[in-house]
A and B are shown apart, each in its own frame.
Chain A
Amino acid sequence: MSVDLSKYKKDFPILHRKVRGDNPLIYLDNGATSQKPESVIAAESNFYRTINSAVHRGAHLLAEEASQAYESARENLANFIGAKTDEVIFTKSATESLNMIAYSLGNPDSKFNVSAGDEIVVSEMEHHANLIPWQQLAKRSGAKLRWFSITKDGRIDTSNIDTLINKKTKVVAITHQSNVFGTIVPLTEITKAAHAVGAVVVLDACQSAPHFAVDVKKLDVDFLAFSGHKALGPTGVGILWGRTELLEKLEPALFGGSMVDSVSMEGATWAKAPRKFEAGVPNMAQAVGLSAAIDYLNMVGMEKIAGHEADLTKQLLDGISKISGVDVIGPLDMKDRGGVVSFTVDGVHPHDVGQVLDQYGIAVRTGHHCAWPLMRKLNLVGTTRASFHLYNDSSDITALLAAIEQVKIYFKVGK
């Protein structure tokens, strides 16, 4: 059943822009970053206009109000992912969240202490942000990095899961939804296998949490990261979530003000989570802005957003299947699939595809999507990727399909 979210588009000021002549902006690069509704822009700027001060410090009214706004944002974020409030850590980005957790899990002082002889499992379709921190942890600790292969249609191959995840496995770090294919991973199977051997599961939810309802308890993961800016929120704020009992056993990765219980010249002890993991004055206005974004997503409804994106994805997959010489990279069906479609145009490099689309006001991502090992595996130089959010509509897909035809005409390829 098709979902009509058209009334919300007006809330996004940037979507009123005309680009490259008189073309309305058709923004299909939501996998990279999302646009912001007026309420988010206002929340961030109102923080600066009315209550700006350093949270958890000062003995004055502004500090009190800023602290309250910041902690309310934490509570809102916690509710959004079905977590306890103190389990939500504000970071500067999902990249920082993943680096922090990778660093902390390898800290010899932490209860986890990933070390030589241990194994870390990722997949071939991880974004660089959920690959390189684990490569580095393996390098530092002497642990072995292993990975799930990818099937031809862009799904995780779990056929060897019983040997891949074994007694040596300490961490399984996996994306929830591929930023290249849009495929959603078989998480239950993976968490079961990981927990059976006592490993923790770190979930990269950057492409999922902004687009469909995510509940950390139902997912049964141990850590989760996502970025604010992909969820209609401001840049400069990300989320790291961890189970209370695990956060207690973890050493922080960043040290400084605000994260301590007591300090002497010889050493220091840490405050409880989440403060332990938030050294320094945090990105307060951005956290408050992200909270407004969560309000907005809740107001629209995550189920409606997911349904709407599914409609658009189906429309694009159907449309592309009718254009010769244009191939979808990833599954052609709608099973376990989010609002991301990667495709190639025979004889035209993705960069050139993107350039022609841009001429029609259509913004897409081109290239390797920070998933270079995956592109090498697929023997591709890159793809063109369209990714949706709630403000996209059927006419955007129609325009994209027409512009893809123009790409073929412009570069004189195929019929």
Chain B
Amino acid sequence: MELDSLYQEVILDHYKSPKHKGLSEQKDIQVHHNNPSCGDEVTLNLLMSGQIVKEISWDGIGCSISMASASVMSELLIGKSYQEAIKILDAFVELMQSKGQSVGDENLLEDGVAFAGVSKFPARIKCALLGWMAFKDASAQVMA
């Protein structure tokens, strides 16, 4: 079923057991992003240690795609350098814009490639990007 390309098992797993969900005390900055068309919300705390992404914690309400994507994002970017994190983020955005034509670079995106199918569903791309855009915003502010 076409639906299975959207809801990969990995996505449903992250949705049921999200990683780094629950806002941690330590942070350099907190950002809040929402999706006014569907009401999904993500609050993200970011702690940097020099150039390194030390900690990402988040909380939010939303659909399986938005919540699982925030979970995968946090797991993937913690411990990376700012430069690497942005490289991964750019690759994820590119995958989302691929209209189903890309499978994604698994070495770079790891569990993130599970979202490749989302790119075939235009209405869901913004769900998948919600947490990532929150990270982009937060990290840009801290690194500025």
Interface residues of A (CB under 8 A from B): 20-21, 348-352, 355-356, 359, 366-368, 372, 375, 381-382, 410-412
Contacts and interface: CB of A to CB of B under 8 A. Distances in A.
Interface string B51-88: 00000000001111100000000000000000000000
Nearest to B64: A352
A355 B38 CA distance: 13
24 contacts: A348-B64, A349-B62, A349-B63, A349-B64, A350-B63, A351-B38, A351-B62, A351-B63, A351-B65, A351-B124, A352-B63, A352-B64, A355-B7, A355-B121, A359-B2, A359-B3, A368-B39, A372-B39, A375-B39, A381-B39, A381-B40, A381-B61, A411-B12, A412-B12
A381 B62 CA distance: 7
Contacts of A21: 2
Nearest to A380: B39
Q: Give the interface centre of B1, B37, B38, B40 by most chain A CB atoms within 10 Å.
A: B38
Contact of A355 (B6, B61, B62): B6
A21 B2 CA distance: 9
B47 interface: no
Contacts of A349: 62-64
User: Which DSSP category, helix, strand, loop or mixed, fits chain B's interface?
Assistant: mixed
A366 B123 CA distance: 12
A349 B64 CA distance: 7
A381 B41 CA distance: 10
A366 B3 CA distance: 17
Given A355-B121, A381-B61, A366 B6 contact: no
A352 B1 CA distance: 15
Which 9 pairs from chain A and chain B are nearest by CB? A351-B63, A349-B63, A367-B38, A368-B39, A359-B3, A352-B64, A381-B61, A352-B63, A382-B39
A355 B39 contact: no
Contacts of A366: 38
Interface in B1-18: 1-3, 6-7, 12
A345 to B, nearest CB: 12
A367 B37 contact: yes
Contact of A410 (B3, B63, B121, B124): B3
Nearest to B3: A359
For A356, A367, A368, the residue with the greatest tally of chain B CB atoms inside 10 Å of its CB is A367
Nearest to A359: B3
B3 A356 contact: yes
Contacts of A375: 39
Contacts of A350: 63
A367 B7 CA distance: 19
B127 interface: yes
Contacts of B12: 411-412
A367 B3 CA distance: 20
Given A351-B127, A375-B39, A382-B38, A359 B61 contact: no
A284 B121 CA distance: 36
Contacts of A410: 3, 7
B37 A355 contact: no
A355 B124 contact: yes
A350 B40 CA distance: 11
A367 B1 contact: no
A49 B95 CA distance: 45
A352 B121 CA distance: 12
Interface string B24-40: 00000000000001111
